[in-house]
Amino acid sequence: MINTRQLEQKETMEIKTFGFWIYLMSDLILFSVLFSAFAVVGHNYAGGPSPRDLFNLPYLFGETMFLLVSSATYGLSMVAMYNYKLKLLLTGLIVTFLLGLGFITMELNEFSHMIGTGAIPGRSSFLSAFFTLVGTHGTHVSFGLIWMGVMIGQIFIKGLTTGVQSRLFRLGLFWHFLDIVWIGVFTFVYLLGLAQ
């Protein structure tokens, strides 16, 4: 039999999850606008470098695999959470964190290389839209990593409480959302850019 406190906790978790879905939909609108802007100005090179001059497909594939595999390891972490396997949960979260950190490191390296060759955002509309779209995604991943680090700390300090489980669930929604957005970025920006 469910007591009043458990019922209140469940209702609170459902309200927070619903609110988080609203946040994700607002993020979806943000990324839709950025994709639309890239679609409009992404072919305006202004005599500057084009995607063929800048993008290295094998490198980008490796970067993509870091993020996609991190989504799988996060999913396995959630299975461990629901089965109350704390050690497996922590291992999965740490592996996910390291994979996400690898993705961000590769993205920063890509940006550094591009800027080093003079491909800066002010050079062309293409580069401006590119850095805005990809940089916004990278910023979201960075915030996800901070959130994940906080959650690892909360698991060590608080254990697997109802609140911690609820926050891990919402972090999972966020992390998987970012993977879906990245598939769009990889396809729309990189692959189609190289196909031109």
**Domain of residue 106, residue span:** 23-29+57-195
Confidence of residue 170 (pLDDT cuts 50, 70, 90): very high
* pLDDT tens, position by position, 26-74: 999 999 999 999 999 999 998 889 999 999 999 999 999 999 999 999 9
Instruction: Output the domain CATH number for residue 78.
Output: 1.20.120.80
**pLDDT tens string 65-112:** 999 999 999 999 999 999 999 999 999 999 999 999 999 999 999 999
Asked if residue 111 belongs to a domain, the reply is: yes
For residue 155, being part of any structural domain is answered with yes
Confidence of residue 2 (pLDDT cuts 50, 70, 90): low
Does residue 138 belong to any structural domain of this protein? yes
**CA 196, CA 194: separation in Å to the nearest integer?**
6
Q: How many residues are recorded in the chain?
A: 196
Other residues' Cβ atoms within 10 Å of the Cβ of residue 195: 8
Q: Is 127 domain-assigned?
A: yes
Whole-Å CA distances, 36 to 135, 136, 189: 15, 14, 11
Give how many domains the chain has, as a whole number: 1
What pTM, to 2 d.p., does this model score? 0.92
Contact between residue 91 and residue 196 where contact means Cβ atoms under 8 Å apart: no
